[in-house]
Amino acid sequence: MADTMQFDLVSPERRLASVQATEIQLPGADGDMTAMPDHAPVITTLRPGIVRVVSSEGTTEYVVSGGFAEITSGAASVLAEHALPVSEMTQDILNGFAADAAEKQQQARPEEKDVTAKRVADIAALASEIGLASS
């Protein structure tokens, strides 16, 4: 059994990470999940949250604003619309996410209300997790 898997984190504008990881924790839309080598192939959507990558060099954390992840036995790719290392996360960026989500909620068609409301809540949860004020 392989003990590492290829992990890629890409946003439309750039590739943020490409490392060999032993463990990846993902904020799946239906609940957190951890992918390890030889995981069954899964495609899941992500909610706004934190992706933790454990590799031989330690644990790295990234904030993602949603997107999706594709996991196969030897690799995991996270495709996120916005992604950045937790250390670069600022209140401003968070406020941007929150404002965006709030605006979407305003404009949402009735059948989408649930989804957008969840998104607003997810961002608030993300804010408290990394110790920033949720606006």
Task: Kindly list the residues in this chain that would bind other proteins in the complex (CB under 8 A).
Answer: 8, 10-15, 28-30, 33, 40-45, 67-68, 70, 72, 77, 79, 81
Give the residue with the Cβ less far from other proteins, 31 or 58.
31
- Whole-number Å distance between alpha carbons of 57 and 133: 30
Give the residue with the Cβ less far from other proteins, 42 or 124.
42
- Whole-number Å distance between alpha carbons of 35 and 6: 11
Give the residue with the Cβ less far from other proteins, 58 or 107.
107
Shortest gap between Cβ of 55 and other proteins (angstroms)?
19
The one-letter code for the residue type at 65 is S
**How many of the other CB atoms lie within 10 Å of CB of 31?**
9
Shortest gap between Cβ of 60 and other proteins (angstroms)?
18
List beta partners, residue 95: none
How far from the centroid of its chain's Cα atoms is residue 79's Cα? 9
